[in-house]
Amino acid sequence: MRKKKRMFSRGVMFVLCLVFAVLFLLPTVLTITNSFMSESEIKANYGMIFSTTGGGFVSKHVNLKFIPDRVTLSQYISGLIKSPNYLIKYWNSILLVAPIVVFQVAIASVAAYSFTRWRGKIRDGIFFFYVILMLMPYQVTLVPNFLVSQWLGIINTPWSIILPGIFAPFSVFLLTKFMRRIPYSLIEAAKVDGANEWQIFTRICLPECRSALYSIAILVFIDYWNMVEQPLILLKDADAQPLSVFLSNINSGEIGLAFAMATVYMIPSLLLFLHGEEYLVEGIANQGSVKG
C-alpha cells in the first residue's frame, strides 16, 4: 500500500514538473520556430496581437503555431547581413557584459576572501551594508548611479554601465557565504607549510570555489545580458545601446525580424548554461562543501 502511494505521488510530481517545464519552454520554442516564418505568415497567425490599430483586443484569428508552413531564413538574412544595426548592437552587448562578468568575479573573489579571513565588528558592519545594497532593486539605485556618473562625466559612455556592474554586491555576498564553508583546518595546514595569504587565496580558496565562481559568472552574465533599464537611462546615444534595448523598442512591422534576432541573442546564454550546467548545479547544491 505504501509502495502504491509512493508511486502515485511520484507520478503526480512528474506530471506537475512536466506541465511546468512545458509552460516554461513554450515562449522560447515559439520564438525559435516563429523566427523561421515569413512576416506574412506571422501576421496571419497572430492577427491583432501585433496590430497597431484597435484597442489591444486579441481576436479569434490568433493561432499559436509551432511549425511554419514554409521555412525561410529571410529574417536572419535581413538581420545579420542586410541590417548592420543588429550586429553593432550585438557587439555593444558583448563589450558591455564581458568586462562586467570578468572584473565583477575577480573583485568579488578578493572581497569575499577578505570578509572570510578578516575578523571583527567592522567587517560585520561592512558585510551587512553589502547585504542591504543587494536587497535593493536596481531601480532604487538608478538615480544615485545616474548622479554619480554625471558627476564623473561618464554619462553616455560604456563606463556608466561597466563601473556599477563591476562593484555590484551580489557576487560578493554569495562568494563570501561559499568561502566561509571551507574548513579552516585547510587554511591552518597551508599556513603551517609556509603559505602566505596570496598562496592560500589562489591555491586553496579559489580551487575550492570553482563551482561557485562559475555559477556566479553565469548568473551575472544572464542578468546583464538582458539589461534594459541601465543602458536606456545611462546611454542616451542609441548607437551605444545593447541589442536588448533595441529589441524592446522594435516596431510592430518587424515582428519576424525581432523573433530572429531574439533567437540569435539567446545563443550565448544557452551555450554558457549548457557548458557550465554541471558547475552551476554543483555550486547551488553543495554550497561550498569540500570533497574528501
pLDDT at 99: 93
pLDDT at 97: 92
DSSP secondary structure of 207-261 = HHTHHHHHHHHHHHHHHHHT--HHHHHH---GGGS-HHHHHHT--GGGHHHHHHH
Q: Given the C-alpha cell 524592446, which residue does it identify? A: 248
CA distance 22 to 19: 5
CA distances (Å), origin 101, targets 91, 202, 206, 211, 219: 16, 19, 16, 15, 9
CA distance 232 to 139: 12
Q: What CATH architecture is 83-285?
A: Orthogonal Bundle (1.10)
Phi, psi torsion values for 118, nearest 5 degrees: -90, 125
Q: Which of 276, 258, 252, 270 is nearest to 52 (CA)?
A: 252
Q: Is 122 exposed, middle or buried (0-12, 13-18, 19+ CB in 10 A)?
A: exposed
CA distance 92 to 161: 12
Listed in order, the ranges of the chain carrying CATH 1.10.3720.10 are 83-285
Question: Per-residue pLDDT for the chain (292 aa), expressed as one digit of tens each?
Answer: 677 777 778 888 888 888 888 888 888 888 888 888 877 777 777 655 655 554 444 445 566 777 777 778 888 887 777 777 788 888 888 999 999 999 999 999 998 888 888 777 777 777 787 778 777 777 777 888 888 888 888 888 889 899 888 988 888 888 888 888 888 888 888 888 888 888 888 888 888 888 888 888 888 998 899 888 888 888 888 788 888 887 776 655 677 777 888 888 888 888 887 877 776 666 555 554 444 3
pLDDT at 100: 93
pLDDT at 62: 64
CA distance 119 to 7: 51
Cβ atoms of 93 and 243 within 8 Å: the answer is yes
